[in-house]
Amino acid sequence: MEKDTNFNEWYNDIVEKAGLSDKRYPIKGMNVWTPYGWKIMRQIDTFIRRELDGTGHDEVCFPLLIPETEFKKEKEHIKGFDSEVYWVTHAGLNELDVRLVVRPTSETAMYPMFSLWVRSHTDLPLKVYQIVNTFRYETKQTRSFIRVREIHFFESHTCHVSEEDAQSQVEEDFGILERLSKELCLPYSLLMRTEWDKFPGAHYTVGLDTAMPNGRMLQIGSIHHYRTNFSIPYNITYENEAGEHVHAHQTTYGMSERLVGAIIGVHGDDKGLVLPPPVAPIQAVIIPIISKGNADVVMEEARKIEKKLNEARIRVKLDDRDERPGSKFFDWEIKGVPLRLEIGTRDIEKEAVSFVRRDDGGKGTIATGSIVEGVRLILGVIRKDMYDRAWEKQRSNVATITSLKDLPEKTLRFGWCGSEECGHRFEDENELKLLGTPYEHEEFDGTCIICGKHTNKAAYASRSM
């Protein structure tokens, strides 16, 4: 399994060997979450719930089906999704009068209800989210977690009294993203999507992109400011203090199971998965090193350590299978368990436990008396190191270019005058995707890579995943 020479093959191999998902389900692009993969996703969902609950959002759960009549109210939105939605046309033996869309995202499910819920300025801000599956008919080649037709997804939707208030929601979302990034050890760039690539119906879209080892950017989520683009067709109004009825300003923030794909791609190596400790279903695995006559003593010690770690709520597993230690090491390396603890006769004599880090192979010992503190400390160091290394990679993946010849396999940064004409020409002639311009101000002084006009705007592009 060589990550650097053939990323795509390596990726598929890891997903299968680590037991993350099973794509043999008889609908292409709709995969089965197998236990190990689902446990990782559940950890991520737990962080998301904690963050959204902690910032005043309420969890809801909307129906899966949306009537065509509601789905078509926002003109740009329907144009954007027309080619990739699934339809329900029959109920039992009867053809439906109004067809139903299987949600590709939930704006058009939620907003008719928001128009009933929002009455007065005292009802605002309204902040809700849900963690559900959405459905999109992908026509490109499907790939586990990265391009699937049934997508595990979280989406938060908010309504505000003004554009400024909605803007502060976007800022709050960036804070949530920053904290999530620390837990998942995932770096990202904030790029303002182009007019033709923004979410259908949005005022603007900020794409959250993470660099994959093949130099391509993977969109791991997006944040949208809608202004009143949806509240007008869906009639979401509130009565202000002067007694006037005013349209609410709205935002959304969404991320999906692609986070799992990004974790695999950013951190994995030739031996397999490398999981950040906060999301690892097993944070530490104990391998007893059995030799002649020591089995009872070693197993007793191993169980003692397991119990201590368990009680401290560290996710631990004692591998007591009747196999050679070497083959156990191999199995847990594929699964990306952050920390391996080894207990043999010599360790017991020294009242210590040997450890090996999955991320960088670092080794050492922890005194048995302070095993909980020791393991916690090392898991913390692993998380921090993985986070720092991933950001370093993200930064070094960017190449600033002034010519379109001999393009490196990296994320490209270049001058763009901002015109749609140059943007389209850039994409069409180079088979690249224009990811957008930096959301936060970035110094740039150069010329448009297409028309040659002077510009202070940098743009980013990469091949599509």
Instruction: Give me the residues that bind Zn ion (CB under 5 A), please.
Output: 417, 422, 448, 450-451
- Taking the least distance from each CB to Zn ion, the nearer of 165 and 197 is 197
Which residues, at least 6 apart from 446, have a Cβ–Cβ distance to it below 8 Å? 402, 414, 415, 454, 455, 458
Strand ranges in 249-323 using DSSP code E only, listed in sequence order: 249-256, 284-288, 316-318
The Cβ of residue 142 has, within 10 Å, a number of other Cβ atoms equal to: 15
- What is the three-class DSSP state of 236? coil
Smallest distance from Zn ion to CB 437, Å? 13
Contact by Cβ (8 Å): 194, 289: no
Sort strands 339-343 and 363-367 into parallel, antiparallel or unpaired.
unpaired
Rounded CA gap, 391 and 260, in Å? Answer: 17
- Taking the least distance from each CB to Zn ion, the nearer of 138 and 197 is 197
- Taking the least distance from each CB to Zn ion, the nearer of 5 and 402 is 402
Smallest distance from Zn ion to CB 22, Å? 47
Sort strands 411-415 and 398-400 into parallel, antiparallel or unpaired.
parallel
- Placement of tokens 């110094």 in the chain: 443
Q: How many CA atoms lie within 13 A of 234 on its CB side?
A: 30
- Taking the least distance from each CB to Zn ion, the nearer of 366 and 449 is 449
Which residues, at least 6 apart from 137, have a Cβ–Cβ distance to it below 8 Å? 83, 84, 85, 86, 149
Smallest distance from Zn ion to CB 424, Å? 11
- Taking the least distance from each CB to Zn ion, the nearer of 148 and 417 is 417
Smallest distance from Zn ion to CB 198, Å? 19
- Taking the least distance from each CB to Zn ion, the nearer of 195 and 311 is 195
Smallest distance from Zn ion to CB 431, Å? 19
Smallest distance from Zn ion to CB 253, Å? 32
- In single-letter form, the type of residue at position 445 comes to D
Smallest distance from Zn ion to CB 446, Å? 11
| Long-range pairs for 421-425: beta carbons < 8 A, 24 or more residues apart | 422/448, 422/450, 422/451, 423/194, 423/196, 424/196, 425/450
Smallest distance from Zn ion to CB 196, Å? 15
Rounded CA gap, 165 and 34, in Å? Answer: 41
- Taking the least distance from each CB to Zn ion, the nearer of 332 and 414 is 414
Instruction: Output DSSP code: residue 294.
Output: -
- Taking the least distance from each CB to Zn ion, the nearer of 314 and 422 is 422
- Taking the least distance from each CB to Zn ion, the nearer of 321 and 453 is 453
